[in-house]
Structure 1
């Protein structure tokens, strides 16, 4: 019987969508019926468990799932015995303290002695301790933003992405205490066969992430300025230089980090580069 990895994924929401999109971009086919709690990939030894995100660290610790994709906020808050395999780079957000918009705020000392409502008592408690503050923590789940409006707490500590939910509830963000993104976590001590499957999966994920951070660049350049342009556009090893019908020009093809390209664009143009194309890369294997 072929060994399969079990991977736990949030059953719905932004983290679920990002996780499934990542897996599918790896070329893994996931049949899923609406409301299903389990599924198996048809072309990779992977079985999916669709769970509540706050349950995933515990399931991975207990070996019910070998792998899990979960927000760093949940991984740290639940504090389970799991191995962090990889930072996946999506579902980025922050855990922040917010207070009613009309209240003045002069600094973190203003929070001392206040009551704060949160679904993340561990992360918040650790932060307050580091800051030397004594606050009353009200642990609640869901609808944290309403707490100041109903007199339950003076402030809240909750996940913030765009800040629109805070605005809708007449709150303002005053302290960001934790940054989060999707993580791949694993059960400690997996056997060699399962670790081998994880390596195959991570090979595909790394190829996607490397591609996402780089772009394929094509440009035309005067032959006399090739050395200058090559110094501005370092390739993976050595750029490709191809002849053109106009013998005074060549075509240069290379791969470069997108941020590096934009910081060099004016210098490239000044060196005579023209007809510049920037093309996304689907996968990149180094």
Structure 2
């Protein structure tokens, strides 16, 4: 690893996998600029006293908890599995999936308690043990929890397990392996975490504001339209905005209105505005924001 300024805040992000592209896009949108040289897992930010370190997502929670790095992005599942002492700064809204007990469809398991005392294969042995321990106590048995680092979904088909505990995102891989969900341990997504004793709380706060601004800009669009005075009250009810719409008086006695609208609702909102008498309806994407 290349050297870095010891006074810099260290920010750990996933070096590859399902979270890598999402995180790099988020940082770019949030204005966190850096240049990563090929084959290097470290990059110094251009306008912040911060160094980005690229690490396996499964290790980030541990590094943050132990104070080796100040801030990181990883999944709730990783934090819970590692039992690291970290502060959950904010949820990032991507990388959403569920950690589930899965069994073969052909086994017709309808009650997860019937799997107590059986063989479980997982990459999350701590969480699996926490889930099955109360069931073991209830049933008077001991569940065998075996760790594997990959290809967990193949364990049942190979006769190595009676069930698995693994992440489910779309369910495609699970169904292809002939598995179905029996129980859900937790719902997870990518989160921003920090060490509770970090000396760079100013950088943490700045980064949080930048990321929150970008996330907000991805959720909302700006709608702008004109309307007459007699329909102003009706149209502003359709577009109340995050706090309130911006209303400007026009020389013809009408009004120009601008308001934030949830991106996923904008088509419906435009239809409602048109029916309510609004004209010149325009929609603008947001690059970034501060609310």
TM-score (norm 1): 0.88
Q: Which moved more, 1:152-161 or 1:108-117?
A: 108-117
Q: Deviations over 1:198-250 (max 9, x none)?
A: 12211211211222232211233333111121223213334223538xx4754
Work out whether 1:241 is the aligned partner of 2:252.
no
The answer to whether structure 1 residue 256 and structure 2 residue 261 are counterparts is yes
Paired residue for 2:18? 14
Q: 1:241 to 1:75 in 2, by over 3 A?
A: same
Q: 1:161 is matched with which residue?
A: 169
Report the 3-state secondary structure (helix = DSSP H, G, I; strand = E; otherwise coil) of the residue aligned with 1:178. Answer: strand
> Is the counterpart of residue 182 in structure 1 residue 186 in structure 2?
no
Any unmatched runs of 5+ in structure 2? Answer: none
Partner of 1:43: 47
Aligned residue for 2:37, secondary structure, equals coil
Residues 146 and 2 of structure 1: CA distance in aligned 2, closer, same or farther (over 3 Å): closer
- Structure 1 unaligned segments of length 5 or more: list them: none
Q: Does 1:221 align with 2:221?
A: no
Residue 277 in structure 1 maps to residue 282 in structure 2: yes
CA change 1:273–1:17 in 2 (3 A) is same
Cα offset for 1:150?
1.4
State the partner residue of 2:153.
145
- Residue 130 of structure 1: how far off its partner (Å): 5.0
Partner deviation per Cα, 1:127-170 (whole Å, 9 max, x = no partner): 23455565322221111011111111011111111111112222
Equivalence for 1:231: 237
Retained in 1: the 8 A contact 2:245–2:258? no
Distance 2:118 2:104 in 1: 13
Q: What secondary structure does 1:159 align onto?
A: strand
Native 8 Å contact 1:216 1:256 kept in 2: yes
TM-score by length of 2: 0.87
